[in-house]
């Protein structure tokens, strides 16, 4: 009886075993998956057609040898097929997609929610992807930060997210709400104690259909090259990669930041020094959400320890979004908008729209 049960379980997971053997056979005999194979392997994991042991083994094997661009592209293919989708209106500006680690921030105070409000005040759409606190960092998340500012971006159906985006030009694809299949893999991240290659894929996967400015963060320099090659395979045309704080898109005001720009199969890299634009200062350490909330509202009022970082980040992203002709102009534009209260006004509009139309 036991042998029959064992045989049945073995047959159930036989297909995934092929992919696991291929990437987990060591330096000599191990091979990369093709894009199609990687897509199928990801599908089997998301739909629970692979066992827990197989999924854990796959994640560790892939982390040790690092996935190639074709493999990352295959993983994204499956996310695009099974995951949520969002579109822009023809009358909207080309949106910015910000790709950041799903496991959040723990060391430095985030700036990007405030930068986003300034971008939105200039009718520049912004899209995020993220989830609830998750391993391995269990850091502060997109939604927790926006909730601290008074706007809850979770608990919406994908149709409500689309409506919110159409009216307010802001969208958060929140994994627990919109991609429960991907939530199936969270527990494995905690159990293996390391970021799996899935985390690299999350930085560059976007559910937005159509043209957009694709901006993603990274930590290690080889990651940038893989991201460029992967996104080229995905047909992305307008790519920016940022060696930002904690692998995100926030630029430091304490040190220089390297930004890569990839368009039409040509890549360039530049290093930007905040001191060259009179924006240097200290990167504020993360303490807790209450302190961050106080600092955030001070910055929106043109003061406090985050103001330099907000002006610096907004100036950079205004420039790359085409909202100004150079970075200095972008910084001056950000200062003007902050002093006039435009970011705060936009926040109040977001809060009012949600309460009126959804809550």
Q: What tens digit of pLDDT does each residue of 99-124 get?
A: 999 999 999 999 999 999 999 999 99
Q: How confident is the model at residue 10 (pLDDT cuts 50, 70, 90)?
A: low
Q: Which CATH class is domain 91-348?
A: alpha beta
* pLDDT at residue 35 greater than cutoff 60: yes
Q: How does strand 126-130 pair with strand 170-174?
A: parallel
Using CA atoms, how far apart are residues 232 and 139, in angstroms rounded to an integer? 30
Buried b (16+ CB within 10 A) or exposed e, 171-194: bbbbbbbbbebbeebbebbeebee
Report the interhelical angle of 69-82 vs 221-233 (nearest 10°): 60
Maximum separation of any 2 CA atoms in the chain, in Å: 76
pLDDT tens per residue across span 228-247: 999 999 999 899 999 999 99
How many whole angstroms separate alpha carbon 150 and alpha carbon 16?
45
> pLDDT-based confidence at 1, cuts 50/70/90?
very low
The domain spans of the chain are 2-82, 91-348
pLDDT of 264 over the 90 cut: no
Q: Provide the 3-class DSSP secondary structure of residue 122.
A: coil
Percentage of the chain exceeding pLDDT 70: 96
Determine if the pTM surpasses 0.85.
Answer: yes
Q: State yes or no: cis peptide before 136, omega within 30 of 0.
A: yes
Of the chain, the percentage scoring pLDDT greater than 90 comes to 87
Which pLDDT score is estimated for 26? 67
Do 91-348 and 2-82 fall under one CATH topology?
A: no
| pLDDT at res. 7 | 44
* CA triple 268-274-277, angle to 5 deg: 100
pLDDT digits over 149-168, tens only? Answer: 999 999 999 999 999 999 99
pLDDT at 221: 87
Can you identify the CATH homologous superfamily of domain 2-82? Transferase, Pyrimidine Nucleoside Phosphorylase; Chain C (1.20.970.10)
- Cα distance between residue 314 and residue 113, in whole Å: 11
pLDDT tens digit string along 162-188?
A: 999 999 999 999 999 999 999 999 999
Examine the pLDDT at 9 and tell me if it is beyond 60. Answer: no
Report the pLDDT value the prediction gives residue 27, as an integer from 0 to 100: 66
Q: How many C-beta neighbours within 10 Å does residue 20 have?
A: 20
Stretch 198-222: mean pLDDT: 94
The overall average pLDDT reported for the chain is 94
Q: What is the dihedral of CA 322, 324, 325, 331, to 10 degrees?
A: -130
Mean pLDDT of all residues in 84-96: 95
pLDDT in tens, 51-83: 999 999 999 998 888 899 999 999 999 999 999
């Amino acid at each position: 009886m036991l042998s029959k049960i064992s045989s049945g379980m073995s047959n159930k997971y036989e297909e995934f075993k092929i992919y696991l053997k291929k990437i987990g056979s060591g330096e000599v005999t191990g091979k990369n998956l093709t894009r199609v194979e990687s897509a199928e392997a990801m599908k089997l994991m998301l739909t629970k057609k692979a066992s827990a042991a197989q999924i854990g083994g796959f994640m560790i094997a892939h982390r040790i040898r690092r996935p190639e661009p074709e493999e990352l592209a295959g993983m994204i293919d499956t996310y695009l097929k099974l995951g949520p989708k969002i579109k822009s209106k023809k009358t909207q500006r080309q949106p910015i997609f910000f790709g950041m680690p799903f496991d959040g921030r723990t060391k430095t105070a985030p700036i990007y929610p405030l930068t986003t409000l300034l971008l939105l005040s200039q009718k520049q759409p912004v899209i995020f992807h993220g989830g609830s606190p998750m391993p391995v960092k269990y850091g502060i998340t997109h939604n927790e930060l926006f909730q601290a500012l008074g706007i809850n971006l979770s608990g919406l159906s994908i149709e409500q997210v689309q409506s919110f985006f159409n009216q307010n030009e802001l969208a958060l694809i929140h994994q627990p709400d919109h991609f429960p299949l991907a939530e199936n893999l969270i527990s494995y991240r905690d159990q293996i104690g390391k970021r799996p290659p899935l985390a690299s894929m999350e930085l560059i996967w976007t559910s937005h259909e159509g043209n957009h400015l694709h901006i993603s963060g990274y930590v290690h320099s080889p990651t940038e090259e893989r991201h460029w090659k992967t996104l080229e395979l995905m047909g992305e045309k307008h790519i920016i990669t940022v060696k930002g704080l904690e692998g995100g898109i926030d630029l430091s005001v304490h040190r220089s930041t390297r930004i890569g720009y990839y368009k039409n199969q040509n890549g360039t890299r530049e290093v930007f020094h905040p001191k060259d634009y009179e924006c240097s200062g200290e990167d504020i350490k993360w303490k807790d959400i209450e302190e961050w909330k106080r600092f955030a509202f001070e910055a929106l009022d043109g003061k406090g320890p985050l103001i330099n970082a907000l002006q610096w980040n907004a100036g950079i992203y205004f420039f790359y979004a085409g909202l100004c002709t150079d970075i200095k102009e972008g910084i001056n534009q950000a200062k003007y908008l902050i002093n006039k209260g435009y970011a705060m006004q936009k926040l109040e509009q977001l809060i009012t729209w949600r309460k009126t139309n959804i809550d």
